[in-house]
Structure 1
């Protein structure tokens, strides 16, 4: 077992190494390969685009902007990867990016075919283009056909700005609540929220806010909650779930004990475990949760912080489990029994 001093040094080194790699918040449109697969992503954006470095943290938008992105997935794409972003000969390319007014944006989503609406809420240290590419990869790899929205809250996109990003989550609550309200007013389909890392904190805080305001109609339309490596303290998650109240569908938690990013985040708050670590789920007994432990499927990519959507073995398993009739499949039942 590592000493606390080693954990301290390794955490600091990781943060310093990554904080020097600030990525521009730019939308770069290019021409994709002729045989690339185009995925449509609806974008609700809080981030300040076209930032090219500097030492100060960006101001946050007063209100989100709206756009439709067309992402080209390259031929020969490997499941779980976002290959060579913006390289039209080898990688993911933003084939088109059209800003829209809010009303037109909502109309476009309402007109898109599908049985439900999926909103993806990204995690800590993520730019808008990265979140768009990641959702396009997920949509392609999982064979999804429903309309998918990126809610890009105002991450600073710096590993050294963890506290800034936690504040940005609080700043974005009202706008996520407003988006959910607008969607249910303009569409009759249920909504599934898929959140990664710190994005899970944003979702839980927004649902808690809806519950405190008595907005049960909106809460009832949120049918699915899927949290990938949730960066939430278990005590806070329990309190949030208690305020939100009973749900017909469980919270689905995709966790991994090998998640290096969450271990650093745990160190940053005094060694408290996170819900996204297997040890953190021990404190959730009695809550309506389904925990999928993907530790054995981790492949080391992305510091094992995106196992559910970056490890090919995990994608293969999860894609099989979400197929119609999966719950009646003996293999699915056997897998769930392993988690009890």
Structure 2
């Protein structure tokens, strides 16, 4: 995280400016900025990341040696500490993109710089017209620290709720999209649930909530959605049945299905997603460079473009430009479609066109409709 200087002799690079909000403790080291321990207060930082000109979409070019070489590596070129709310507003107004804001929440086993570089990669590859904001919670970035990380999301949920409220109060902000990954989806859902309980509904500027590989007990997710109140944001979920990280999480947490690992094209999930008006996109057949198949949402160029060019700006997925590539199954409002042909039951052909059902759905209790298994017995203390 130590900034490096760009020189005239270097190849032209792309720059991504982001606002970072964290509940991590300062490390006291400019090379790391923040560690994985919990802070009693949030910290704000403005960061600029330089992205090299030659790289494969969906990849992060980590430096092999320090300092980073902007010609070949992702490199931090500016770090600005933000101490007051007025300074934060000033930063935001300097970087506003059409009134759209994207709040990214990383997952389990992430260092501070992991979230920064992933958001920079996503913002660059998607060509999104939105201001990138990273909310990074205290993760120790260790495979053996699953429980610590999970409790850290609970520790951070009020801070995320307050950050979203502050953002929504800004008159220059037209709408907010939340993009959360893995364990970060739990944090996102809990913060929105808190907001709904306090106000009766989620702030109406929060238009879209995108959950990528959500590490959430499906029964708990159903209750969270109900307790947000109404109106609700539009939910889009990216799932994959070959996600090895979610399989491990399911084993650890009592073998209850994780939301990101279900097959949305089979019953009862398909009908229940339709009733809840939730869009589910199945990425099981998408190839991944990740051996755990857990980061497909950011590695697939088609998915990145779908999120950045359509979901963030609120465009419907109703025309041939909404291609997700071969073998990607989708259920939009519960309706599965191939090229102009409705697929009955499970999708059996490549999906190139996604259409939203136009029929108005009456409100349903998703707390009942999304549950596949009976409620578990209370845990013994």
State which of 52, 55, 69 in structure 2 corresponds to 1:74.
52
**Structure 2 equivalent of residue 40 of structure 1:** 17
Range 78-87 or range 316-325, more displaced: 316-325
State which of 294, 297, 305 in structure 1 corresponds to 2:286.
297
**Structure 1 equivalent of residue 358 of structure 2:** none
More helix by share: 1
**Structure 2 equivalent of residue 195 of structure 1:** 180
Q: Aligned runs of 1:123-202 on 2, under 5 Å? A: 123-187=107-171, 188-202=173-187
**Structure 2 equivalent of residue 254 of structure 1:** 238
Q: 1:315 to 1:214 in 2, by over 3 A?
A: closer
State which of 61, 70, 79 in structure 2 corresponds to 1:83.
61
What is the CA–CA distance in structure 1 between the aligned matches of 2:19 and 2:190, rounded to whole Å? 23
State which of 12, 31, 45 in structure 1 corresponds to 2:5.
31
Deviations 1:284-329 (A, max 9, x none): 5432310001111132425211101113454356567558866341
For the aligned residues, what is the CA RMSD? Answer: 2.7
What is the CA–CA distance in structure 2 between the aligned matches of 1:326 and 1:215, rounded to whole Å? 27
Contact kept? 2:37, 2:140, Cα under 8 Å: no
State which of 40, 54, 72 in structure 2 corresponds to 1:62.
40
- Helix, strand or coil for the counterpart of 2:46? strand
Contact kept? 1:31, 1:93, Cα under 8 Å: no
Deviations 1:158-214 (A, max 9, x none): 111000011001100110111112112223421111100111111111111111112
**What is the CA-CA distance between 1:110 and the residue it aligns to?**
3.2
Contact kept? 1:120, 1:150, Cα under 8 Å: yes
Deviations 1:125-183 (A, max 9, x none): 11111101000000000001311100011111111100001100110011011111211
Contact kept? 1:260, 1:303, Cα under 8 Å: yes
What is the CA–CA distance in structure 2 between the aligned matches of 1:152 and 1:158, rounded to whole Å? 16
**Structure 1 equivalent of residue 373 of structure 2:** none
Contact kept? 1:208, 1:240, Cα under 8 Å: yes
What is the CA–CA distance in structure 2 between the aligned matches of 1:60 and 1:92, rounded to whole Å? 27
- Helix, strand or coil for the counterpart of 2:149? helix
TM-score by length of 2: 0.74
Structure 2 residue 90 is the aligned partner of structure 1 residue 112: no
TM-score by length of 1: 0.82
The runs of 5 or more residues in structure 2 that have no matched partner are 30-34, 324-328, 338-345, 348-381
Q: 1:99 to 1:215 in 2, by over 3 A?
A: farther
**What is the CA-CA distance between 1:68 and the residue it aligns to?**
0.7
**Structure 2 equivalent of residue 329 of structure 1:** 319
- Helix, strand or coil for the counterpart of 1:134? helix
Figure out how many residues of one structure are paired with residues of the other and give that number. 309
Contact kept? 2:200, 2:230, Cα under 8 Å: no
Q: Highest CA radius of gyration, 1 or 2? A: 2
What is the CA–CA distance in structure 2 between the aligned matches of 1:315 and 1:59, rounded to whole Å? 31
Q: 1:180 to 1:317 in 2, by over 3 A?
A: closer
